[in-house]
Amino acid sequence: MKSKRLVFLATNEDGLVLGNVTVTFTQPYLTAVLGIMFHHDHQGRGYGAEAVGAVCDWLTRILGVEKVSAMCDSKNLACRRVLEKVGFKTEGIMEKFFHHPERGWLDSPVYALFREG
């Protein structure tokens, strides 16, 4: 695999893009970092968990990725629920990981999903 980044678009049956799941690979492609973004109009309907679950299944089962990691704003409960629903476990917390212009410094939980088997 030559690409270090893949972007999967989540669409509805009419082809409308609801969001995306971005995968960034690290050498030697045994680990990947996940990014999730869904338009607020489509959040809370299960699209994120379905998309993240499908991407993680493909990464671990087909590509043989051993570990998938993800981080999010600690106050982003929707993102945290998606990751936990798919099977990600919290590995730790990065304190004051990034600064939001309106909300100040934010912590970020670090999640991981390991390939079974």
Q: What does the pLDDT average to over 89-94?
A: 95
Host H or E run for residue 9: strand 5-11
Give the DSSP letter of residue 40: G
Write down the domain spans for the chain.
5-114
Q: Mean pLDDT for the chain?
A: 90
Both tokens of residue 93? 């917390």
Does the structure show a pLDDT above 70 at 65? yes
CATH, domain 5-114, list 3.40.190.10, 3.40.630.30, 3.40.50.150, 3.40.50.1100: 3.40.630.30
- Of residues 116 and 91, the one with the higher pLDDT is 91
Contact of 42 with 82, CB cutoff 8 Å? no
Find the range with the poorest average confidence among 27-31, 45-49, 112-116.
27-31
